[in-house]
């Protein structure tokens, strides 16, 4: 399978030279398609000092179909569903926008960037998006609190 070759290639690149604040490992050594990611909350964001566990699942059709990204750690964010799935809405991960030339590293960097800069106009949690736009102080407060509570931030 070409996809296995590509996935292992990406995995080794990511473990050798991981992007800032991101560490990658397989959830299960025998399964290339489920990745366990740890993502540090970006500086100057209410998620700072939090460690967020993210699950990345690759479809068997990868790279022709996009991976899915979900936050295992609860997070207060307009673009991440506030349920037990923690699905992240990333434009580049939508089926019609996905390009096989996008790499997992880019996906992860994009995801972390989204923590720093939420996109309230593309939100999955409308209420949080409203708050982000209209009452940013309160949003940051809650997000910081959740980070402390769920992402083990020491502060």
Partner 1 sequence: MDSDRMFCHACGGVWLKDGGLTCPHCESEFTEIIEIPPEMPSEASPSPQPQAGSSSAPRGNPWRDHNPWEQEESYSAQGLGLFGNASSGYPSLRTYRSPDGRFSFSSTTFEAGTASGQRNDPSPIVPMALETFGAMLRDVDFMEPNPRVYRGYGEESLDPNSSTAPDWLQDDHLTGHHPGLSPRNTNGPQSNRNPMTITEIMDAIRADLGTQSMRGGRGGRGAAAPNPLSILSAILNMDRIGDAVYSQEALDRVIEQLIEHTGGASTAPPAASQTAIQSLPRKKVDKEMLGGESKAECTICLDNVELGTEVTVLPCTHWFHFSCIEAWLTQNNTCPHCRRGIDSNMGNGEGTRENPVVVQDSPEQSASRRRHSSARTSRSGRSSLSSLQSRLSPRLSPRRSPERERGQGGQPGPRELSRSEGNGGGFASWFSNRFGNST
Which residues are marked as active site?
89
Per-residue binder mask for partner 1 (CB under 8 A), 34-63, x = binder: -----------------------------x
CB of 117 to partner 1, least distance (A): 24
Residue 99 · residue 66 · CB < 8 Å: no
The Cα-based distances of 13 to 7, 58, 60, 126 in angstroms read 10, 16, 20, 36
**Residue of 25, 64, 83, 106 interacting with partner 1 (CB under 8 A):** 64
Count of residues of this chain found to bind partner 1 when the rule CB under 8 A is applied: 15
- The stretch among 5-13, 84-92, 105-113, 143-151 that binds partner 1 (CB under 8 A) is 5-13
Secondary structure (3-state) at 55: strand
How many angstroms separate the first and last alpha carbons of the chain?
47
Rounded to 10°, the helix 136-150/126-134 angle is 130
In whole angstroms, the minimum distance from the beta carbon of 64 to partner 1 comes to: 6
Angle between helices 104-116 and 2-16 (to 10 degrees): 50
Compute the distance between CA of residue 19 and CA of residue 13 in angstroms, rounded to an integer.
10
* Smaller CB separation from partner 1, 26 or 116: 26
Return the residue of 20, 29, 44, 95 that touches partner 1, per CB under 8 A.
95
Residues in contact with partner 1 by the rule CB under 8 A: 2, 5-6, 9-10, 63-64, 94-96, 98-101, 103
């Amino acid at each position: 399978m070409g996809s296995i070759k590509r996935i292992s290639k990406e995995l080794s690149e990511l473990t050798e030279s991981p992007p800032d604040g991101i560490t990658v490992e397989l959830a299960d050594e025998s399964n290339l398609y489920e990745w366990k990611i740890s993502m540090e909350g970006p500086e100057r964001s209410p998620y700072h000092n939090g460690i967020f566990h993210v699950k990345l699942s690759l479809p068997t059709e990868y790279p022709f179909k996009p991976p899915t990204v979900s936050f295992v750690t609860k997070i207060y964010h307009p673009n991440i569903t506030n349920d037990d799935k923690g699905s992240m809405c990333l434009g580049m991960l939508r089926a019609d926008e996905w390009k096989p030339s996008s790499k997992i590293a880019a996906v992860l960097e994009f995801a972390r960037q989204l923590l720093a800069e939420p996109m309230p106009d593309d939100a999955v949690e409308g209420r949080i998006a409203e708050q982000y736009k209209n009452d940013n102080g309160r949003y940051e407060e809650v997000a910081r609190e959740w980070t402390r509570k769920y992402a083990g931030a020491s502060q």
